Structure 1
Amino acid sequence: MRNGAEELAVALATMSRDLLAQDGVQPTLDRICRHAVALVDGCEHAGIMTLHGGGERRRVETLAVTDDLVGNSDRFQVELGEGPCLDAAQHREQAYRIADMTGTTRWPRYAAKARELGIGSMMGFLLFTDEDELGALNLYSSRPGAFTDHSELIGWIMASHAAVAFSSARVDAQLHSAVATRQLIGEALGIVMERYKISADQAFDVLRTSSQHTNVKLRDVAERIATTGEIPGSR
């Protein structure tokens, strides 16, 4: 018979395999949120938020949620310009825990909205850091004091597994996109070479010139040529 530590180890290993088996970034993100609710003591809702850029150019995006409560919480924080998720992402906090959202005097406008949503406590973990992009896994409970030191420990471990799976899914998606783009450009080059009886280098110059003159990405120019046979901006 397994003890609690063994059961947790098995559950985390199962989660890790499940995340790496997902086909694409979005399914991976959705599964991370669901595993958080299942594995972290006190967690009733979960979501993943990302922060692009900073200052006036800052853009917040909700990547995955378990339910509307999380989406509404993110939306209120963005609209009000305050909240624990925003602060954690902006300051690159590795983890945060709000024991009692119903009694906090911090983020007064967001706290009022959180109470309306039925949020009693929150906890979050930084998932990844890029040069201009931050992401966090945010956990919610309707009860104040729902998250304990043990909850935070499990959240830490889970977030580490989740970050690896998230990164792997993104790299895989980028590789697939790069291969697809290369194939598309190759097809467009073949069409242009055949039409004008020119070399591959000359055909690429045609695509690049079309892209520059029409302010359209090279991949989109190639897709237009491959789909319709038309070269954007040509006469």
Structure 2
Amino acid sequence: MAVGDLEFSAAAQPVDGGQAELFARLAVELHESGGVTETVQAVVEFALSALSCSHAGVALCVHGKPEVPASTDPLVAEIYEWQTERRIGPLIEAMGEHRALLIRDTATAGRWPEWSAKVLSLGVRSVLDMPLTTATGTVGVLCLYHVQPDAFGLDDEAVAAILARHTSVAVATARREQGMTAAVDARKLVGQAMGILMERYDVDADRGFAILKRYSQDSNTKLRDVAQRLITTRSLPGWRA
């Protein structure tokens, strides 16, 4: 399909046996990668080895805006930053409209002329942006770049689409596990802080939690941070029993 200068083939090609083996290895690496940053870094490294791209990166969607946890070099980060500041470009559209965009040549692309000029000045001619989507929405965008025009063929599009699906699941899983770990850590901190208050002021658990919650609200500070402050300094500035 084509939209102005933007094209993406609907004719996905099946991967061959060698590519299937690569994806099998990727699945294992993503499972063992741990956090979100490690996950997307594994994806970027895989993209460079399995696709016709000279640069690659992943931009994650955080509160509706791109955040860059992994890229191959400063060039990718500069392209991301330019689009994020101006809220225009294929990255923004791929993330917002949940669709893949292929720019075959930034030297002749007519849409987003300022973006095209910027990317062209960095030596990038071909761009393929793949949204990372799950059942709950877009979690980010896989962005592939090449210094040559018309560098991405049907095989690259097919592999990029499969890679995007793997990445979407892996990122969503890593985020969920990271969130669960943070929640457990927060509960532990709050529990320790409550114990300090209970011992020092002879209050019960409910009263100890109420103190922390009230201080959090009055100081406009996260409950976790209030608990950490109390544990570290053994005091809550400005609070009196």
TM-score, normalization: structure 1?
Answer: 0.90
In the alignment, is the contact (CA less than 8 A) between 1:51 and 1:134 conserved in 2? yes
In the alignment, is the contact (CA less than 8 A) between 2:66 and 2:140 conserved in 1? no
Q: Distance in 2 between matches of 1:129 and 1:12?
A: 19
Residue of structure 1 equivalent to 2:60: 50
Residue of structure 2 equivalent to 1:117: 122
Deviations 1:44-80 (A, max 9, x none): 11111234456xxxx4322211111111111222344
Number of equivalenced pairs: 226
Residue of structure 2 equivalent to 1:23: 34
Shift in alpha-carbon separation, 1:24–1:53, aligned structure 2, 3 A: closer
In the alignment, is the contact (CA less than 8 A) between 2:105 and 2:125 conserved in 1? yes
Deviations 1:151-184 (A, max 9, x none): 1100111111111111111111111111111111
Q: Distance in 1 between matches of 2:166 and 2:42?
A: 12
5+ residue gaps, structure 2: 1-14
**Helix, strand or coil for the counterpart of 1:128?**
strand
- Structure 1 residues 123-202: aligned runs within 5 Å: 123-128=128-133, 134-202=139-207
1:105 to 80, 87, 110: 110
1:36 to 22, 27, 47: 47
In the alignment, is the contact (CA less than 8 A) between 1:210 and 1:232 conserved in 2? no
Q: CA deviation at 1:213?
A: 1.1
Q: CA deviation at 1:101?
A: 1.4
Residue of structure 1 equivalent to 2:70: 64
Residue of structure 2 equivalent to 1:7: 18
Q: Distance in 2 between matches of 1:120 and 1:78?
A: 20
Q: Distance in 1 between matches of 2:67 and 2:36?
A: 15
Q: Distance in 1 between matches of 2:238 and 2:169?
A: 43
Q: Distance in 1 between matches of 2:178 and 2:62?
A: 19
In the alignment, is the contact (CA less than 8 A) between 1:213 and 1:233 conserved in 2? no
Shift in alpha-carbon separation, 1:220–1:130, aligned structure 2, 3 A: farther
Q: CA RMSD in A?
A: 1.8
Q: Percent identity?
A: 36
**Helix, strand or coil for the counterpart of 2:239?**
coil
Q: Distance in 1 between matches of 2:16 and 2:83?
A: 36
TM-score, normalization: structure 2?
Answer: 0.88
